[in-house]
Structure 1
């Protein structure tokens, strides 16, 4: 079981960090009091392996919480749990700017001064910082940079598996799929519609698929399409795209587009991607 505790300075980015872990598939809890951490770990351990990657934010703001967190960590160790601490910090002037922009009061500022609150917090956090597995300075990190850093250190999925690729075959005469990121027009391929024995079938049938795929033009097109997709998909993965939607269109959406969508889907699955194929117009003969 991987058990990650996120803590650090107020305004350093704990809320954004827990979102990054959530996107990686971790079971996440925000703002858990330190005294509850050992019991929470026990409950996760009793899940029968269903909950095996956990990230939680423990916001140590009150004075008593600083004592509670060390007791909680000691209890975890005594009970045989291993844990990692991600400690978030930022330069004082950056924290001040963030508090001013959000118009929030620093939780440890009794005087109303943000600087006083930061200095008090720094003193209280010194010991827990010393136990950190990872210290992240977010002073110069935007949301994208923080996400990339967390992904590099805490993901355990192959890059491809993080992005779902949805294939949609469609007919141009019924309109383009509005949510498609990429659209490929295959109306230039030989049309089975004009072969009497194939006219009433669709691209899911072997007879139609074999007809569409037998032409040298189709083989050449697929080769170039595969090369193009091989170049594009890693770029989308790097951008953190969760779902890439590819539209494949022919005239009616029943023959050529279905065949090519199926073929591209097979290719991408073999490359390790999660693929969903939807034939929008295959059953619509009008």
Structure 2
């Protein structure tokens, strides 16, 4: 990632369910030169930011914290985002419930939110509590199938000045009925494209299905739209790198967030990846409805990496 300019404090807020790898990620960031502090109460973070040091910081946020609440963390994220002295990113480490249960069983640890009960109850309670934070995260890393070594490599890829490949670009699909995702730098409306919802054989499918993406792409306006959007985003990204931004988010919305916005997000992500940009994808409504598994992912680059 490109480092912020010399006058900006870079802050990475690291959170996620217990057992998903927060400590591993914090240690990896510390090895990359970040000042790392784990389990810091939310109320102390603004005072910490008021210090004079411009060294990048990685702050671990634990749901067990005495003053923790999802609303408090999202409010802190918004507060820091509006602070001209700070470049803030919220990193969420996600993991499937059955994998977390296995990890707790293998280590015979008690879950912090259910010390007297089976770990499964605490896992379910914590994941439900953290759902708003997961939706508001700037970057999500799914750790279910990652070893600690793999997770360190992912963190180095996204945040390492030497091993990184330039700015991180996040593309989000969403439903306008549920509002815009937090922290978007650009938003594009896909509701003018032909709507697969009105086709009975496509209604229950998603933009990840070939039949839906083919239907959307047959709209004569689709190809020019993808080309113009890709050109515009690719034009803005280098300037954003020069400005010192480490993360750039683009949203694509449609009525239900299931068909058109998903298909367009996939097309633009593939086009940007071919140009060498590191792209992550979030399909908010598909995640919420459970219509597709592992929809949040990183797209492999197909060209030279951008710095």
TM-score (norm 1): 0.50
Structure 2 unpaired stretches of 5+: 1-8, 165-307
CA deviations 1:7-54 (Å, max 9, x no partner) are 0000001111111111111111111111111111221xx22x4x1x11
Instruction: Name 1:54's counterpart in structure 2.
Output: 57
Classify the secondary structure of the residue corresponding to 2:80: helix
Worse-superposed segment, 22-31 or 69-78 = 69-78
Deviation of 1:68 (Å):
3.2
Name the SS of the counterpart of 1:82 in structure 2: strand
Mapped partners of 2:48, 2:155: distance in 1: 23
| Counterpart residue number, 2:89 | 84
Aligned pair partner of 2:160 in 155, 163, 180: 155
Deviations 1:49-99 (A, max 9, x none): 4x1x11110112258411432343343234333310110121111101111
1:3–1:55 contact (8 Å) kept in structure 2: yes
Q: Choose the corresponding residue for 1:16, options 5, 24, 33.
A: 24
Larger-gyration structure (1/2): 1
From 68, 72, 79, give the equivalent of 2:76: 72
Deviation at 1:151, TM superposition (A): 1.0
**Matching of residue 106 in structure 1 with residue 111 in structure 2:** yes
- Are the equivalent residues in 2 in contact too, given 1:6–1:57 (CA < 8 A)? yes
Aligned residue for 1:124? 129
How far apart are the structure 2 equivalents of 1:110 and 1:92? Answer: 17
Indicate conservation of the 8 Å contact 1:18/1:28, yes or no. Answer: yes
The answer as to whether partners of 1:35 and 1:69 remain within 8 angstroms in 2 is no
Q: 1:98 to 1:36 in 2, by over 3 A?
A: same
2:40 is aligned, of 32, 50, 58, to: 32
- Alignment CA distance shift 1:120-1:57 (3 Å): same
Identify, as 1 or 2, the structure richer in helix: 1
Q: Which residue, out of 4, 8, 12, partners 2:12?
A: 4
CA contact (8 A) 2:97 2:123 kept: yes
* Residues in 2 aligned to 1:8 and 1:130: alpha-carbon distance in whole angstroms: 12
Instruction: Tell me the number of residue pairs that the alignment of Structure 1 and Structure 2 aligns.
Output: 154
User: Whole-Å Cα distance in 1 between the matches of residues 78 and 43 of structure 2?
Assistant: 11
The CA distance in 2 between the partners of 1:158 and 1:33, in whole Å, is 31
SS in 2 for 1:85: strand
Structure 1 portions without partners, runs of 5+: 160-286
The question of whether the paired residues in 1 share the 8 Å contact of 2:41 and 2:61 is answered with yes
Structure 1 residue 111 displacement after superposition? 5.1
Equivalent residue runs for 1:211-230 within 5 Å: none
Q: Residue 224 of structure 2 corresponds to which residue in structure 1?
A: none
Q: Which secondary structure does the structure 1 equivalent of 2:90 belong to?
A: strand
**How far apart, CA to CA, are the structure 2 residues paired with 1:85 and 1:112?**
30
Q: Deviations over 1:225-262 (max 9, x none)?
A: xxxxxxxxxxxxxxxxxxxxxxxxxxxxxxxxxxxxxx
TM-score by length of 2: 0.47
